[in-house]
Amino acid sequence: MVKKAFIFPGQGAQCVGMSKDFYNSFAESKEIFDDAQSIVDFDILKLCFDGPLEELSLTNISQPAILTASIAALQALRASGINVTPDYVAGLSLGEYSGLVAAKSISFQTAVALVAKRGKFMQQASELNPGSMLSLLGLDIDKVSEITKETGTFIANLNCPGQIVISGKNDNLKAAEVLAKEKGAKRVLPLNVSGPFHTELMQEASQKLENELVKTKVKEPACNVVFNVTGDIEGAPDMIKVNLSKQVSQTTYWQKSVEYMANNGVSVFFEIGPGQVLKGLLKRINPDLKVYNIGSLEDIENVKKDLGA
């Protein structure tokens, strides 16, 4: 029997128009946006569907917006007649919350309220420590470790072979970019985020989030959930909360997470939500993995044809 996983994108996947066709086509998707609109303190419909991208990309806005667009896409998949039940779920950073909703561990309403606070906490921490993230292509972990030590930056994401994301304050990242090129990086790409995420510079945000998680109702997931900070599954609600709070200020291990699922028999992945970043990463981790995108009505039609649904 083929094992399947649902995977969900993180911050940086935002785009103007995300899940708009799902909103217009499925009552279930519309309900997700309407629920979110009643919870967040900004016009989520306007920003998701009409932008501007600059405002949509602000941490406190992009996080609940991407979560909402992702779960709207999940609802569209379920409503479209494609009968897929995941054996595993995972998400890249913020995407973990979408994964927990998909696994019925956290309700969508709880998740969007929590993520809205998470985004604000991270935005506040970013204002205290202005910074960003850089994706380094073509360097091994040893060279990247040297770069971070010399420049006061941090290894934030181990995403796939040949791609390591570093994070830090803006001036330190400028120095790291120069050094990375000197050490032979094929490319150095800035990420579309507004803070030095997954570093100790986010410790205050991590602590505030931990305080919120204490009050949050989390249930044992209905399927296996793989977490970024360990690259392993966890089902105990208390430990899920620990992993979520740690994730803000610690390195994430996406490659390890995907390899864990593949080693446990998962061969088909559904990337649910805006963008195709995760598909690109999975193809570099293991080109034999099959990845379907669920980000538009056209994607759903393509999946139906491929699966004969």
- The pLDDT assigned to 97 comes to 98
Average pLDDT, the chain: 95
Note the pLDDT tens digit of each residue in 203-230. 999 999 999 999 999 999 999 999 999 9
Query: Would you place residue 275 in the very low, low, confident or very high pLDDT band (cuts 50, 70, 90)?
Result: very high
- The pLDDT assigned to 194 comes to 81
Task: Give the pairing type, strands 88-91 and 3-8.
Answer: parallel
Residue type, 85: T
- The pLDDT assigned to 308 comes to 72
- pLDDT value at 110 more than 80: yes
Among 200, 157, 155, residue whose Cα is nearest residue 173:
155
Q: What mean pLDDT do residues 136-140 have?
A: 94
Taking the C-alpha atoms of residue 115 and residue 110, their distance in angstroms, rounded to an integer, is 9
Q: Which of 126, 194, 198, 245 is catalytic?
A: 198
- The pLDDT assigned to 204 comes to 94
Note the pLDDT tens digit of each residue in 158-177. 999 999 999 999 999 999 99
Active site (annotated) includes residue 93: yes
Taking the C-alpha atoms of residue 200 and residue 177, their distance in angstroms, rounded to an integer, is 20
Note the pLDDT tens digit of each residue in 45-58. 999 999 999 999 98
Burial letters for 146-159: b for 16+ Cβ neighbours within 10 Å, e otherwise? ebbeebebbbbbbb
Note the pLDDT tens digit of each residue in 225-258. 999 999 999 999 999 999 999 999 999 999 999 9
- pLDDT value at 309 more than 70: no
- R_g over Cα of the chain: 18
Task: Kindly list the domain boundaries of the chain, sorted by start residue.
Answer: 3-127+200-307, 130-190
Q: Which of 93, 135, 245, 257 is catalytic?
A: 93
CATH class of the region 3-127+200-307: alpha beta
- Rounded to a whole number of angstroms, the distance between the first and last alpha carbons of the chain is 17
Active site (annotated) includes residue 198: yes
Q: What mean pLDDT do residues 264-280 have?
A: 96
The fold adopted by the segment(s) 130-190 is Alpha-Beta Plaits (3.30.70)
Question: What pTM was computed for the model?
Answer: 0.94
